[in-house]
Amino acid sequence: MAVDLTELIDDLPLVDHHVHGATAHDLSRRAFEELITESDRPVPAWMTTFDSQLGHAILRHCAPELGLDPHASPEEYLARRARLGAGEVNRRLLGATGVGHYLLETGHRGEEILGPGGMAEVTGVPVDEVVRLEQVAEQVAASGCAAGAFARRFAEALWERTRTARGLKTVAAYRHGLGFDPSRPSAAEVAEAAGRWLAEGEAAADHAAGEPDGGPGAGPYGGSGSVPERRLGLVKDAGPGTAGWRVTDPVLLRHLIWTGLDRGLPLQFHTGFGDPDVDLRRADPLLLRGLIELAEPTGVPIMLLHCYPYVRGAGHLAHAYPAVHFDVGLGVTYTGARAAALVAESLEVAPFAKLLFSSDAWGPAELHHLGATLWRRALARVLGGFVNEGEWSPAQAARVAAMVGAGNARRVYALTAPRP
Amino acid sequence: MAVDLTELIDDLPLVDHHVHGATAHDLSRRAFEELITESDRPVPAWMTTFDSQLGHAILRHCAPELGLDPHASPEEYLARRARLGAGEVNRRLLGATGVGHYLLETGHRGEEILGPGGMAEVTGVPVDEVVRLEQVAEQVAASGCAAGAFARRFAEALWERTRTARGLKTVAAYRHGLGFDPSRPSAAEVAEAAGRWLAEGEAAADHAAGEPDGGPGAGPYGGSGSVPERRLGLVKDAGPGTAGWRVTDPVLLRHLIWTGLDRGLPLQFHTGFGDPDVDLRRADPLLLRGLIELAEPTGVPIMLLHCYPYVRGAGHLAHAYPAVHFDVGLGVTYTGARAAALVAESLEVAPFAKLLFSSDAWGPAELHHLGATLWRRALARVLGGFVNEGEWSPAQAARVAAMVGAGNARRVYALTAPRP
Amino acid sequence: MAVDLTELIDDLPLVDHHVHGATAHDLSRRAFEELITESDRPVPAWMTTFDSQLGHAILRHCAPELGLDPHASPEEYLARRARLGAGEVNRRLLGATGVGHYLLETGHRGEEILGPGGMAEVTGVPVDEVVRLEQVAEQVAASGCAAGAFARRFAEALWERTRTARGLKTVAAYRHGLGFDPSRPSAAEVAEAAGRWLAEGEAAADHAAGEPDGGPGAGPYGGSGSVPERRLGLVKDAGPGTAGWRVTDPVLLRHLIWTGLDRGLPLQFHTGFGDPDVDLRRADPLLLRGLIELAEPTGVPIMLLHCYPYVRGAGHLAHAYPAVHFDVGLGVTYTGARAAALVAESLEVAPFAKLLFSSDAWGPAELHHLGATLWRRALARVLGGFVNEGEWSPAQAARVAAMVGAGNARRVYALTAPRP
């Protein structure tokens, strides 16, 4: 008889090691559709984002949480969602994830998005913080800073900002791509690059005053956030008070990363799939090999996020280098019925101690819910396949599920075990 | 009980949005073997191209259409094919595709290959044309043209040539690779590049006079078309009367593409898998990101063809950019029993409104037949899997099959719906 | 009723066309753990390399050969292994591979590893040799050589060393990456590069005297072989008497390759997955396209090894170019329960005459055993799937299994058929 791991995996109290806040706002159809895609372009009139793996997964797995049949229509779903209200939707969808600990990346936390406190209140589980390096740098710049003082000011702000944080995050993949010189820039290089940035940024900030999003380099659609619902999506890449201060200089990005390595917390890298700001060719985690080797003496865990479609390359890095860990979050959510393919690829050459779970959800609680639900279903299918093909024992499958779902993250981020 | 979508998908009147003509000639074994591979090298004596996924698929799916059992031997198959004659073979194989509309890329249409009229006659369904930019440019050059007049002459020829066409096609991936500067070249740059090309081309054309194929840059085997059956394969990359006029200059290729964007028809790009002329590393559709962004204001649909093995990258582009669409044609035919793997990857992050069907068949009608047959079988297997694993509803699967098989192409190319 | 190809494929007398010797030494737990990973970094205290696909496969498939139940614990397994002793373990594990002919790459053969004679004795089947170009060059350099004489001395040594060899191997992917200028370097370029290398190498060899491993370029952990068991792993990249002579200059690597092409034996290229020395981005077999085209007139078979995760690109090269063959060895061993995914990808666009079997095993006989066992299971699953989905006939599956498992290698390496 076929072994079914579903129940065992459904019962795991996951650690979501990279996630953002849920929105506490009710959402129009347009806003909802724009928040279930990574594209920042307006959704063309001839399509709906419900016609996607993510859309189908929402109707399949979230509709029952709102009291509808699976495979409800988008109209039924959105009507029920509106009737329940965002608060009740959040309670239901977040309450059913079975996540036991969230590590919340707070690089942008306008009033639309729940912060650590709000997330802890809704979910009833511990929420710790992951701090985005670029946001701290942009806040330093926006607060006014001399070029020669930037490195010191940034370090001070980073230490202050991360007193209780569990990890750091960099979006260098979006800002420049990962193909940068991996070596630590000199103090003089940093001061010079900071001088250029601060001069340009002040001009841009003046120009951007009153616009909460965008700024230089945000792309052709980056500054068009005139509709509140639209802004909800666009705020992804900007923090309050940092309009116009978008750090893209590779010298500065490297400096942020190396200062982050000094700080010593696990350092998360966005890699692979994301919004149109990312040049996917320049987001290949294999580009980080030089940095990984230079950073080895620090012992800092390097956490590769998402990795789609570079899952196998990420697995190679996790195999070769003790510090490297990775996940297939975000990709799992967006590939829906195909999520098992990604999870399976992540279980090839990587040691099982190097793989983690994340959702990378941002905004609608459907993304938090599906990040966990689709991952559980995919893992149960993949590990169940290994067992039923006679390759693994059920005990091995259970052990690996517990490691990937929670144990590895508890070790890397030094989280205490949950109370039984 | 397991849901089976086979019948539903078999009944779809497909739009084959990128295909070439079938050959009306009888084929020797050697000619046939050389036409069921993308390689232009002679088939070594120690192998047969029937020992391939495509070969097995021909014997499995085409043999019954010719009255043989599935899995006939190559010898039986070719003997039956010869006895029936090319006309009857075409009627049977093309008649059984269930394609409702062909968009025929006519970049080379010697007497060996059926043109739009011939294809319409054999198939009994509408056949519209897709025009290859490079062929139009080469015809302008071959007809004699001053460097300074090239841009104007090319535009005039393109508008004239595409009066009733449904789309454009570029083979820049073969000629230079896709890693070119995406910006529109200036008039002066175009005139200068045209001057170089026209001077070189005249010399080459003199040299190539009498040889229907090849010319500079066609590769070590590109000029060896002395056997008629061989030429049938090689003519893929040259048109009548354009011997020696092979446009490879990146400035000119960019100019052709930008003029194509001015023309406003959906613009097809060869990407990924193809004959040895292609450097697969330089045929990655992700290399088109810069051009895609620059072309966004034009609103012209960008159609990425084939994409093997870069299917997931193509899906990311289709997710991020409203204009980008793609297919997994050609790869489906050549991977045979593995076609479902490609179709499954194409259904990951891409919105379902962005995926199309094509066969990219050229020559033997087996390729037209298998393009449709293997795609239908693969799609039924993949979507049936989603339904039977409890992720999609049957209605969702039917809707997506109809979109990908025909509806998306009808929208993009503004085709009228078939009469019921 | 489902067709099961297991027995048929289990009975194939495989040709392992790229393998190294088994170790004749007993192994401590630490040594064993470090030999079942490609990483040369110390295994962190918080993990065990048994928590991997390879670890699970050892406990599943090798434990029964040692008289234990499948899925024994690592402790049980290692205790039984120690009790039996390396000799008995080798007899059992090597004796059960069903390999009929080994092509042994002997680029490093300290007393820890069995050479061709030792392997023939343990296995009772023919063992032929594959010679590593870089090792021959390093031995020439270490023996003392004038720069101007290097090319002649290397050619003489190569011809002498390969009098009975069946093939050549290059690790240029590790030493420089595959993105080198593919053209043959001139005699002057070679002499100049040899001069630089010989001068640097003498200094390094003086420095490395007494250290059996490492030398310049061996990486941060390359010289830390103070523990004998550790050295067993590290000796992979150095030969006896060549300490300090690591050839990395791209001119010299190209010269070695072109001299290898002159020699005329099938030439194996490491590509893809391997230890941290490899930059996976620079080990993509598609980078060899230029060399493949330049080498076409020689007719020398080009054998792409491993190819993980670039299996589809390797398949494209094998499709396009008659000389190109490939395998998915090493990756099969390291992906364990996922090996069928790699084997399936290798059976997409490549003609079936172009695919081979190898294990790339080195050291513990578990790797030799699993290379064959996992490949057989994966192939039976993949081909069985093609048959049971109605795409292939059982006869076609049997024919392809025999070609890939042995026939293609017998043809390429001109091996005589086994006696019945």
Which amino acid, one-letter code, is at C185? P
The verdict on C321 touching B (C-beta cutoff 8 Å) is yes
B348, B355, B400, B410, best to mutate vs chain A, most A CBs in 10 Å: B348
Average pLDDT over residues B271-277: 95
What is the maximum alpha-carbon separation in chain B? 70
Q: Residue with structure tokens 């091996």?
A: C415
**Tens-digit pLDDT profile for residues C259-287:** 999 999 999 999 999 999 999 999 999 99
Contacts B313 to A, Cβ<8 Å: 280, 309
The verdict on B273 touching C (C-beta cutoff 8 Å) is yes
The per-residue pLDDT for C110 is: 52
The per-residue pLDDT for A203 is: 77
| Residues whose CB falls within 8 Å of the CB of residue B295, separated by 6 or more in sequence, listed in order | B261, B302, B323
- Of C377 and C244, the structure prediction assigns the larger pLDDT to C377
Of C39, C56, C338, the CB nearest to A319: C39
The H or E element containing residue A355 is strand A355-356
Please report how the helices C86-95 and C74-84 are oriented relative to each other, as an axis angle in degrees rounded to 10: 110
The verdict on A49 touching C (C-beta cutoff 8 Å) is no
Q: For chain A, give me the number of helices (H) and strands (E)?
A: 19, 8
| Residues whose CB falls within 8 Å of the CB of residue C129, separated by 6 or more in sequence, listed in order | C103, C104, C105, C106, C116, C164, C165, C166
Contacts B331 to C, Cβ<8 Å: 349
Q: A379 and A404 in contact (C-beta within 8 Å)?
A: yes
| Residues whose CB falls within 8 Å of the CB of residue B170, separated by 6 or more in sequence, listed in order | B132, B133, B134, B253, B256, B257, B260, B267, B268, B269, B270
Contacts B319 to A, Cβ<8 Å: 37-39, 334
Distances (CA, A) of B85 to B27, B98, B110: 9, 22, 20
Cβ contacts from A onto C, under 8 A:
92
Contacts C399 to B, Cβ<8 Å: 51
* pLDDT surpasses 80 at B400: yes
Distance from CA of A45 to the nearest CA of B (A): 10
**Tens-digit pLDDT profile for residues B24-69:** 999 999 999 999 999 999 999 999 999 999 999 999 999 999 999 9
Of A313, A385, A400, the CB nearest to C309: A313
Distance from CA of B290 to the nearest CA of A (A): 9
Average pLDDT over residues A18-41: 97
Distances (CA, A) of B231 to A256, B34, B104, B220, B239: 59, 10, 20, 15, 12
In angstroms, the CA A176 to CA A344 distance is 30
The verdict on B293 touching A (C-beta cutoff 8 Å) is yes
The per-residue pLDDT for A204 is: 72
The verdict on A325 touching C (C-beta cutoff 8 Å) is no
Contact check, Cβ <8 Å, B337/C396: no
Of A42, A53, A279, the CB nearest to B348: A53
Distances (CA, A) of B137 to B113, B245, B282, B303: 21, 9, 22, 21
In angstroms, the CA C77 to CA C89 distance is 11
- In a 13 Å sphere around the CA of B256, the CA atoms on its Cβ side amount to 30
In angstroms, the CA C93 to CA C95 distance is 5
The per-residue pLDDT for A243 is: 75
Phi and psi torsions of C3, nearest 5°: -75, 135
Which amino acid, one-letter code, is at B153? R
Q: B174 and B192 in contact (C-beta within 8 Å)?
A: no
* pLDDT surpasses 80 at B190: yes
Contact check, Cβ <8 Å, A334/B313: no
In angstroms, the CA A157 to CA C346 distance is 52
Q: How confident is the model at residue A208 (pLDDT cuts 50, 70, 90)?
A: low
The verdict on C208 touching B (C-beta cutoff 8 Å) is no
* pLDDT surpasses 90 at C213: no
**Tens-digit pLDDT profile for residues C315-341:** 999 999 999 999 999 999 999 999 999
Task: State the distance between the two ends of chain B, measured CA to CA, in whole angstroms.
Answer: 32
Average pLDDT over residues C155-160: 98
Q: How confident is the model at residue A100 (pLDDT cuts 50, 70, 90)?
A: very high
> Which one, of B107, B159, B166, lies nearest residue B138 by Cα?
B107
Of B281, B331, B337, the CB nearest to C386: B337
Q: How confident is the model at residue A129 (pLDDT cuts 50, 70, 90)?
A: very high
Q: Which of residues 67-96 of A touch B (CB under 8 A)?
A: 70-71
Q: What angle do CA A174, A179, A183 make, to 5 degrees?
A: 110
Average pLDDT, chain A: 91
Distance from CA of B132 to the nearest CA of A (A): 27
Average pLDDT over residues C181-207: 90
Measured between CA atoms, the residue of chain B closest to residue A49 is B351
**Tens-digit pLDDT profile for residues A154-164:** 999 999 999 99
The verdict on B46 touching C (C-beta cutoff 8 Å) is yes
In angstroms, the CA C57 to CA A200 distance is 57
Distance from CA of B86 to the nearest CA of A (A): 42
Average pLDDT over residues A196-224: 58
Q: How confident is the model at residue A235 (pLDDT cuts 50, 70, 90)?
A: very low
In angstroms, the CA C114 to CA C129 distance is 12
The verdict on A4 touching B (C-beta cutoff 8 Å) is no
Contact check, Cβ <8 Å, B349/A37: no
Distance from CA of A418 to the nearest CA of C (A): 20
How many of the other CB atoms lie within 10 Å of CB of B404?
27
Burial (CB < 10 A; 0-12, 13-18, 19+), residue C299, is: exposed
> Which one, of A354, A350, A358, lies nearest residue A374 by Cα?
A358
The verdict on C273 touching A (C-beta cutoff 8 Å) is yes
In angstroms, the CA C63 to CA C68 distance is 5
- C-alpha dihedral, A30 to A36 to A37 to A38, nearest 10°: 120
* pLDDT surpasses 60 at C235: no
Contact check, Cβ <8 Å, C70/A393: yes
Least confident of B22-31, B100-109, C75-84: B100-109
Contacts B6 to C, Cβ<8 Å: none
Of B289, B313, B411, the CB nearest to A309: B313
Average pLDDT over residues C372-382: 98
The per-residue pLDDT for B170 is: 98
* pLDDT surpasses 70 at A231: no
Q: A92 and A65 in contact (C-beta within 8 Å)?
A: yes
Contacts C403 to B, Cβ<8 Å: 51
Please report how the helices A365-388 and A339-346 are oriented relative to each other, as an axis angle in degrees rounded to 10: 60
Which amino acid, one-letter code, is at C246? R
Measured between CA atoms, the residue of chain B closest to residue A58 is B391
Contacts B289 to A, Cβ<8 Å: 279-281
The per-residue pLDDT for A419 is: 52
DSSP B224: -
> Which one, of C11, C62, C10, lies nearest residue C36 by Cα?
C62
> Which one, of C376, C351, C393, C396, lies nearest residue C99 by Cα?
C376
In angstroms, the CA C352 to CA B53 distance is 8
How many of the other CB atoms lie within 10 Å of CB of B11?
10
The per-residue pLDDT for C205 is: 67
Contacts C321 to B, Cβ<8 Å: 39, 41, 276
| Residues whose CB falls within 8 Å of the CB of residue B324, separated by 6 or more in sequence, listed in order | B292, B301, B302, B304, B314, B317, B318, B354
Distance from CA of B11 to the nearest CA of A (A): 22
Q: A12 and A404 in contact (C-beta within 8 Å)?
A: no
Q: State the chains in contact with A (3 or more Cβ–Cβ pairs under 8 Å).
A: B, C
Contact check, Cβ <8 Å, B347/A71: no
**Tens-digit pLDDT profile for residues A332-344:** 999 999 999 999 9
The verdict on C175 touching B (C-beta cutoff 8 Å) is no
Distance from CA of A126 to the nearest CA of C (A): 24
The per-residue pLDDT for B204 is: 72
Contacts C384 to A, Cβ<8 Å: none
The verdict on A57 touching B (C-beta cutoff 8 Å) is yes
The per-residue pLDDT for A212 is: 43
Q: A339 and A375 in contact (C-beta within 8 Å)?
A: yes
Average pLDDT over residues A344-370: 98
* pLDDT surpasses 80 at B215: no
Distance from CA of B296 to the nearest CA of C (A): 31
The per-residue pLDDT for C231 is: 34
Measured between CA atoms, the residue of chain C closest to residue A316 is C273
**Tens-digit pLDDT profile for residues B116-152:** 999 999 999 999 999 999 999 999 999 999 999 999 9
Q: How confident is the model at residue B201 (pLDDT cuts 50, 70, 90)?
A: confident
Measured between CA atoms, the residue of chain B closest to residue C397 is B56
Distance from CA of A71 to the nearest CA of B (A): 6
Distances (CA, A) of B412 to B260, B264, B303, B330, B406: 16, 12, 10, 20, 10
Q: Which of residues 342-361 of A touch C (CB under 8 A)?
A: 344-345, 347-354
Q: What angle do CA A154, A160, A164 make, to 5 degrees?
A: 130
In angstroms, the CA C192 to CA C186 distance is 10
Q: State the chains in contact with C (3 or more Cβ–Cβ pairs under 8 Å).
A: A, B
The verdict on A188 touching C (C-beta cutoff 8 Å) is no
Q: A326 and A350 in contact (C-beta within 8 Å)?
A: yes
Which amino acid, one-letter code, is at B398? A
Burial (CB < 10 A; 0-12, 13-18, 19+), residue C419, is: exposed
* pLDDT surpasses 70 at C420: no
Contact check, Cβ <8 Å, B284/A279: no
The per-residue pLDDT for B130 is: 97
Q: Residue with structure tokens 């006659």?
A: B121
The per-residue pLDDT for B198 is: 95
The per-residue pLDDT for B121 is: 96
Q: A166 and A130 in contact (C-beta within 8 Å)?
A: yes
Of A37, A281, A338, the CB nearest to B348: A338
